């Protein structure tokens, strides 16, 4: 099947890798929308216009499933996308809060973009649980910009945003850019397991592909 994905740059490649591992023979189209990074600091209207542009492009290329490989675009836009494109199977990427709570971790911190942290979906995911939320303005953008030629910019940004804390036993990486600097983040939370939503997305995409056995592995 033709699987389309997008993110505000390289972050969604962490999701792409997880999906490809399960489904190596599908055909992938990936939009690294770096010119519009950061999604996490845009108004809803602007973000939806950008996201719709990516969806239109992927559909033009023949995508049969669209993976929103971005927590921000998922939490803020996926409900509207499903209304506007009822025939398209969308798979979103959400902060792995459910996984953290179901796994029995007692002290959980969620790191995400400002837009994801203040989304309604975040409130739903947290529910009545005791979870700490930390918005990380500028982090996705810094990773996007300096990942390949980092002269300390990323660790400087992390030190500005995060505080060393041994009390967390789980930290949810609620932005697909953050797993790219997993080791750096781990240094701030040495006792925590770091969780992200990529595996959940991969499982969901696999279910959809398996429901279309004649299309599997075909483009």
| Residues within the interface to ligand DGL (CB under 6 A) | 7-8, 11, 37-40, 70-72, 113, 116, 140, 175-177
Q: Which of 37, 70, 77, 136 is flagged as catalytic? A: 70
Q: Which of 37, 77, 136, 175 is flagged as catalytic? A: 175
Nearer to ligand DGL (CB atom), residue 1 or residue 96: 96
Beta-carbon contacts of 73 under 8 Å, excluding residues fewer than 6 positions away, are: 6, 7, 8, 39, 47, 51, 92
CB of 51 to ligand DGL, least distance (A): 11
Minimal CB distance residue for ligand DGL: 40
Report the candidate in 174, 138, 156, 182 with the shortest Cα–Cα distance to residue 38. Answer: 138
Beta-carbon contacts of 157 under 8 Å, excluding residues fewer than 6 positions away, are: 138, 139, 142
CB of 96 to ligand DGL, least distance (A): 12
Catalytic site includes residue 37: no
Catalytic site includes residue 77: no
Nearer to ligand DGL (CB atom), residue 119 or residue 131: 119
Nearer to ligand DGL (CB atom), residue 122 or residue 192: 122
Nearer to ligand DGL (CB atom), residue 7 or residue 64: 7
Report the candidate in 172, 162, 185, 173 with the shortest Cα–Cα distance to residue 105. Answer: 172
Contact 58/88 with Cβ under 8 angstroms?
no
CB of 53 to ligand DGL, least distance (A): 15
Beta-carbon contacts of 146 under 8 Å, excluding residues fewer than 6 positions away, are: 153, 154
29 bridge partner residues: 4
* Residue positions annotated with a catalytic role: 70, 175
């Amino acid at each position: 099947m033709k699987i389309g994905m997008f993110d505000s740059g390289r972050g969604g490649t962490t999701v792409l890798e997880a999906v490809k591992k399960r489904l190596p023979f599908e055909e992938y189209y990936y939009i690294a929308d770096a010119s519009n990074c950061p999604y996490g600091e845009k108004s809803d209207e602007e973000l939806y216009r950008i996201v719709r542009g990516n969806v239109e492009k992927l559909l033009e290329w023949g995508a049969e499933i669209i993976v929103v490989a971005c927590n921000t675009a998922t939490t803020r836009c996926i409900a509207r996308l499903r209304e506007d494109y009822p025939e398209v199977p969308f798979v979103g990427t959400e902060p792995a809060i459910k996984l953290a709570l179901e796994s029995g971790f007692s002290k959980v911190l969620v790191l995400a973009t400002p837009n994801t942290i203040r989304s309604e979906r975040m409130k739903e995911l947290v529910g009545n649980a005791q979870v700490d939320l930390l918005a990380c303005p500028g982090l996705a953008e810094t990773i996007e910009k300096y990942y390949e030629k980092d002269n300390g910019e990323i660790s400087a940004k992390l030190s500005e945003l995060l505080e060393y804390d041994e009390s967390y036993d789980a930290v949810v990486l609620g932005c697909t850019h953050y797993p790219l600097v997993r080791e750096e983040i781990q240094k701030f939370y040495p006792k925590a397991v770091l969780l992200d939503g990529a595996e959940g997305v991969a499982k969901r995409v696999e279910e959809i592909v398996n429901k279309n056995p004649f299309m599997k592995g075909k483009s």
